[in-house]
Amino acid sequence: MQRSTLLLAGTALLTSLLTACSGGLLGSEKAAEGPIRIGMAVPLSGSSAPIGPNMKNGAQLAVDEINAQGGLLGRELELDVEDEACDATSAVAAANKLVSAGAVISVGGYCSSATLPTLPVFDKADIPMIIPAANSEQLVQQKLRSVFLINPTGAQQSEAAIQFIRKRQARTVAVLDDNTSYSTDIAKRTTELAKQAGITVTNTSVTPGESDYGSTVTKVLSGNPDFVYWTGYFQEGGLLVDQFRRAGYAKDFMVADGSVDPSLASIAGGADGVFATMTQTPDTIEGAGDWIAKYRKAFNAEPGPYSTQSYDAVRVAAEAIKKAQTTDGKKVVEALEQLKDFPIFSGPLTFNDRHTLSQGGFQILVVKGGKFVLQDSLR
């Protein structure tokens, strides 16, 4: 009895599923109607979780503004945010979810190593990517026509770093990375540039996620550096600042943009005097006061790092769709390539043939009273 009922139930289930549903392999594709969906995969959980809300809010602000002005091509914009957790598997799942939800353009991507495997997912679905934060050179090296970076890459960051290192007249530099693709990229480039400039340089990798970097600190300090540059993220960055200070290091300490987060100072228990290579943030851009006020009013929060870039990513996406007069991926990519001097926070935007910023770059910030303020705009 059991066997026959089971078989019967199985067959019934199968036939009903095959006939009733249209989303399956035998069904037809959904038509593109309703709002224009903008996909965004950002870290909402995991070690980089504090950044996700900044990016989400920044993008939402741009979406709301565009909708208030009547939307795009007569349709509303809708932002679809998914968690990438800074992890390859989660990021690919998030990207696939966005593709399934019918996103026509992607404006997400924070952790480079999690963003890399999502590129083919979007590319295969003909979805252009405007990546607001992730900026490893490897993203460029994939040579996908649909990938655009609006954050300057590691190459530009290390140039800014070395420019400032020379200004500080450092002779021995210790570069530390956390072994993630983004961090090692900057570290390697900075190390090379330093060698070319005749500066003694050491490069050390630490394993992210640990709580005690004592042995690394001792090893680095044995080289007696007068400038330390940390290219990883803020969690380890905060610990390193603290542990270097405890070990008696009182000279220059600089962090890369991944560490520019208010949490850096709180983890370090005060990080005043720490420098940072960073792209423009709302607090360091002149004339961004109105924007900050609007952001505060909308989200009841301070605009953190990458809120402006995400805001700009949505605006760039909207501009390209408007120029192309369609959401068709290939035409939008063409429109993006033809953008000329589109005003964004980091300056007028024109993509170069590598699909990165042709101008606008990094500046040097310094921590004062727990906040990052402008030290040197390197111009």
CA distance 110 to 43: 7
Find out whether 128 and 60 touch, Cβ atoms under 8 Å: no
Contacts of 211 (CB under 8 A, 6+ apart): 239
Closest distance between another protein and the C-beta of residue 166, in Å? 28
CA distance 132 to 136: 12
- Provide the 3-class DSSP secondary structure of residue 175: strand
**Applying CB under 8 A, which of residues 77, 107, 125, 175 lies at the interface with another protein?**
125
- Provide the 3-class DSSP secondary structure of residue 41: strand
Nearer to another protein, 22 or 326 (CB): 22
**Applying CB under 8 A, which of residues 8, 23, 145, 343 lies at the interface with another protein?**
23
# chain residues binding another protein, by CB under 8 A: 48
Where do the H-state alpha helices sit in the chain? Answer: 2-20, 51-68, 88-100, 112-115, 118-124, 137-141, 154-167, 181-196, 214-222, 234-246, 262-268, 289-299, 307-324, 329-338
**CB under 8 A: which stretch of 119-127, 297-305, 340-348, 361-369 binds another protein?**
119-127
- Is 88 a binder of another protein (CB under 8 A)? yes
Residues 27-46 that bind another protein (CB under 8 A): 27, 44-45
**CB under 8 A: which stretch of 13-21, 239-247, 314-322, 354-362 binds another protein?**
13-21
Residues 177-236 that bind another protein (CB under 8 A): 179-181, 183-184, 205, 207
Nearer to another protein, 151 or 184 (CB): 184
CA distance 306 to 52: 9
The dihedral formed by the CA atoms of 32, 101, 105 and 80, expressed in degrees to the nearest 10: 120
CA distance 336 to 163: 31
**Applying CB under 8 A, which of residues 14, 73, 301, 373 lies at the interface with another protein?**
14
Nearer to another protein, 54 or 363 (CB): 54
Q: Could you list the residues that contact another protein (CB under 8 A)?
A: 2-3, 6-7, 10, 13-14, 17-18, 21, 23-27, 44-45, 49, 82-83, 87-89, 92-93, 96-97, 99-101, 112-114, 116-117, 120-121, 125, 136, 138, 142, 179-181, 183-184, 205, 207
